[in-house]
Structure 1
């Protein structure tokens, strides 16, 4: 993905671009329709694929009636488990040391593990023909009992520490005894539903073979995992697979690593001897991709009459699949948020018949903080205290469980700034008391936290003979503006006009990089770029001042 800057207004060299307003590098192309996403790539001779997904939750496939589908004009081939079972090697989930968003192989056998699982791949000359043929596929099932949520028979509850041996429930003191002694107690259950990413750009894949080499075009936040995972599945050398991810049209936590359907499209392209492109429907995106799991929180909070917290018990559960040990634990966040002498947490995962969940927008903090902050608000109401005042009373500069000091803790300064900006002093605590014309309105507050992460990255920075600068890395533009930031930082670091900088991202042919996510991309890449610019300046200085050079002896 190349992003040269051509805005004449930016043609002059400027100093200190970082921290100043800047026209986004990728903005004009996106708003004018010139941006090319993964499904826009023109592949000569491309055939089109469509998915058939299960209409039952759990069971086995008894058979197919493919006659009507195969008779659809333009239909080329219908792939089922009978064609692909044994041709795709299993790989582990990304969080289990593997490469995949889900370890489940949808066409690996006749088993149906969850509703909406892929059960067939139809390939045709056109997208319309593929979708029509897919709609004509008839599947006979033998249904089995299922559990798709917390309280259904067959749901398997396991301690998170048993599912993930590295997990330890944060605890301090005797929270149950302290809770029994508390002057004021809040006990409540809070639940959050399943949430789906549903990005504007669908979960597309296009594959093309050139002899024994494979090129994959797919929106991804980690092309390296997709490359290595697909190589493991197909028994190939990763060097023979190139993954290209254009600009990503939304993800919200999805499009993380190797998709379940990528290998299916790759094998279809190999068998047919021509490129194959898949554009799943929006409805299918709810089941072939990950989701934020539903969570349940039994939370008990104790305080003295002055509003100082004396006990916290947070028992949490989240759903996960039966085939992956994936869970987004979050009680480490709630246990460390406020000063409290006695804390007990207990996290469990509930295995159900669904696809593996995944990260979504501030995982895992959001559902867990929703529960804790709701309880804190209820405590403020019970004590007759202002919600911000209660949080101020329980602010802490050290982690309550470990005792380690926080590197920074400007929480109350943030609350003060927010209170002033939102007119908190005009708040009326009584529910329903504030109105804006015919509308009932209210003011609320909550604390949120997010870890600061940094990850390894590599980058190539080249100065061309014409004075232009190329910045290249396999990281991704996920809509966060990193392309523009890299161009600004390179211009600052090398003293060139920003118009002279071209940024290339999202391609395994470029220097490798990790996941674009976890709020780590900017810190990871800008630090790497700063080092690269420093080394490039040093090499230029050495070359220009060497014996016989124009600036020799300078």
Structure 2
């Protein structure tokens, strides 16, 4: 994805671009329809695929009737487990040391593991023909008992520490004993539902082969995982798999790694000897992609009458699949949020007949924070304290579990600023007491609430190539991704600052495994990781330029010592600034 950067801002010669408003490079392309997403890439002779998904939750496939589908004008082939079983090697989940969003192979056997599982791939000359043929595929099933959520027969509850050996439930002291002697106690259960991603851009894939070399166009936040995972599945060398991800039309935590359908499309393209493109339906996105799992939280808090927390118990349960040792934990955050001498946490996973969950927008701790903060509000009501004041009395500069100081914790400063901005002083704590009759169709009931949220600062390894051409143009290249947050423009601004060139002279290339490798675009780590790498690259490039200038200057002085060398900057060049570096 190449983005030459326009320069609408008129900045001074010595003024840094970072920290100033800047028109995004991808803005004009998106609003005019020129942005080329993965499914927009033109592939000569491309066939089109459609999915058939299971209509039962669990069981086995007894057989297919493909006659009506194959009779559809333009239908080329229908792939089922009878065609593809054994041709795709299993790979582990990304969080288990593998590359996949889900380790399940949907066409690996006749087994149906969850509702909406892929059971067939239909390929036709056009998208319309593929969709019509897919609707005519008939599947006979042998259904089996299933459990799809909490408290259903057959659901298997396991301690998270048993599911994931590296997990340890955080805690300190004896929270149950402290709770028993607490002056004030509250106990509450909170539940959050399953939540699904619905990005504007669907979960598309397009594949074509050139001999043994495979090229994949797919929206991805981790093209490296997709490349290596697909190579492992198909028995290829990673160098023979190229993954290209154009601008991503939304993800919200999905599009994380190797999708279940990518290998299916790749094999269909190889068997048919032509490119194949898949654009699943929006409805299919609910089951072929990961989701935020259901969670259940039993929270008990103890406090003294002055509002100091004396005990915290957080027992959490979440749903997960039967085939991946994966769960979204979050008590590591809730156990460390407030000063408390006695803390106990217990996380469990309920294995049910569903696809593997994953991050969504994207921190895993969000449902946990919702539960704890709701309980803290309950405690504030019970004590007759303002909710912000209760949090203030339990603020802490150190992690109560590890005892280590927080690198930064401006929590109460944030609360004070928010309270001033939102008029917290006028808040009436009684339910339904506040009304506003200034709005149309009023009066409306108005509520003011507060909650604490926290997110760690993460950095990941990345490599980057920065090239300065003789004409002063700069190319910044890395296999990271533009997920819509504006990292392309930010990199151009930082490169312009770091090398003292106009921003219009910078081109940023992202989202291609042919570029220098980088990590995942997630965990709020993209900016910190890439700008640090770019700063180092700019420093090295300036050092090489300075060394070259000294060499040229020395040679010039030796030839004509009476004529001092001169250096004339290009028009628009600026003195290099200090790019952001951590």
- TM-score tier by shorter-chain length is over 0.9
- Is 1:322–1:353's contact at 8 Å kept on the other side of the alignment? yes
> Hey, what's the Cα distance between the residues in 1 that align with 2:345 and 2:363?
18
Partner of 1:388: 388
How far is the alpha carbon of 1:437 from its aligned partner?
3.4
Structure-2 change in CA distance of 1:282 and 1:525 (3 Å)? same
Tell me the alpha carbon deviations over residues 356-408 of structure 1, each in whole angstroms, 9 at most, x when there is no partner: 00011142121000000000000000111000000000000111111111112
Moved over 2 A (4+): 6-15, 547-553
How far is the alpha carbon of 1:55 from its aligned partner?
0.2
- Is 1:362–1:450's contact at 8 Å kept on the other side of the alignment? no
Structure-2 change in CA distance of 1:503 and 1:14 (3 Å)? farther
- Is 1:49–1:121's contact at 8 Å kept on the other side of the alignment? yes
Partner of 2:561: none
> Hey, what's the Cα distance between the residues in 1 that align with 2:132 and 2:176?
60
How far is the alpha carbon of 1:247 from its aligned partner?
0.2
> Hey, what's the Cα distance between the residues in 2 that align with 1:437 and 1:169?
48
- Is 2:182–2:304's contact at 8 Å kept on the other side of the alignment? yes
TM-score, normalised to structure 1, is: 0.97
Tell me the alpha carbon deviations over residues 434-479 of structure 1, each in whole angstroms, 9 at most, x when there is no partner: 1x93210110000000010000000000011221100000000001
Does 1:412 pair with 2:412? yes
How far is the alpha carbon of 1:211 from its aligned partner?
1.0
- Helix, strand or coil at the partner of 1:63: strand
- Is 2:11–2:17's contact at 8 Å kept on the other side of the alignment? no
Q: Please point out which of 467, 477, 483 is paired with 2:482.
A: 477
- Is 1:478–1:516's contact at 8 Å kept on the other side of the alignment? yes
Tell me the alpha carbon deviations over residues 327-377 of structure 1, each in whole angstroms, 9 at most, x when there is no partner: 111111000000101100000010000000001114212100000000000
- Helix, strand or coil at the partner of 2:246: coil
Unaligned runs of 5+ in 1: none
Partner of 2:366: 366
How far is the alpha carbon of 1:13 from its aligned partner?
5.8
- Helix, strand or coil at the partner of 1:297: strand
- Is 1:308–1:393's contact at 8 Å kept on the other side of the alignment? yes
Unaligned runs of 5+ in 2: 435-440, 550-565, 573-582
> Hey, what's the Cα distance between the residues in 2 that align with 1:185 and 1:429?
20
> Hey, what's the Cα distance between the residues in 2 that align with 1:2 and 1:552?
24
How far is the alpha carbon of 1:541 from its aligned partner?
1.1
Tell me the alpha carbon deviations over residues 500-524 of structure 1, each in whole angstroms, 9 at most, x when there is no partner: 0000000000000000000000000
How far is the alpha carbon of 1:549 from its aligned partner?
14
How far is the alpha carbon of 1:5 from its aligned partner?
1.5
- Helix, strand or coil at the partner of 1:189: strand
Structure-2 change in CA distance of 1:13 and 1:107 (3 Å)? farther
Does 1:61 pair with 2:61? yes
Partner of 2:426: 426
> Hey, what's the Cα distance between the residues in 1 that align with 2:470 and 2:567?
19
Tell me the alpha carbon deviations over residues 278-300 of structure 1, each in whole angstroms, 9 at most, x when there is no partner: 00000000000000000000000
Which range moved further: 357-366 or 256-265? 357-366
- Is 2:311–2:343's contact at 8 Å kept on the other side of the alignment? yes
- Is 1:124–1:130's contact at 8 Å kept on the other side of the alignment? yes
> Hey, what's the Cα distance between the residues in 2 that align with 1:288 and 1:339?
42
Structure-2 change in CA distance of 1:131 and 1:160 (3 Å)? same
- Is 1:87–1:234's contact at 8 Å kept on the other side of the alignment? yes
Structure-2 change in CA distance of 1:190 and 1:74 (3 Å)? same
- Is 1:543–1:549's contact at 8 Å kept on the other side of the alignment? no
Structure-2 change in CA distance of 1:164 and 1:145 (3 Å)? same
> Hey, what's the Cα distance between the residues in 2 that align with 1:138 and 1:149?
28
Partner of 1:534: 539
Structure-2 change in CA distance of 1:403 and 1:11 (3 Å)? closer
Structure-2 change in CA distance of 1:8 and 1:85 (3 Å)? same
- Is 2:57–2:115's contact at 8 Å kept on the other side of the alignment? yes
- Is 1:12–1:497's contact at 8 Å kept on the other side of the alignment? no
How many residue pairs align between the two structures? 550
Which range moved further: 325-334 or 276-285? 325-334
- Helix, strand or coil at the partner of 1:10: coil
TM-score, normalised to structure 2, is: 0.93
- Is 1:14–1:497's contact at 8 Å kept on the other side of the alignment? no
> Hey, what's the Cα distance between the residues in 2 that align with 1:137 and 1:550?
68
> Hey, what's the Cα distance between the residues in 2 that align with 1:305 and 1:12?
59
- Helix, strand or coil at the partner of 1:214: strand
Tell me the alpha carbon deviations over residues 499-552 of structure 1, each in whole angstroms, 9 at most, x when there is no partner: 1000000000000000000000000000000000000111111112xx999999
Which range moved further: 534-543 or 223-232? 534-543
- Is 1:10–1:498's contact at 8 Å kept on the other side of the alignment? no
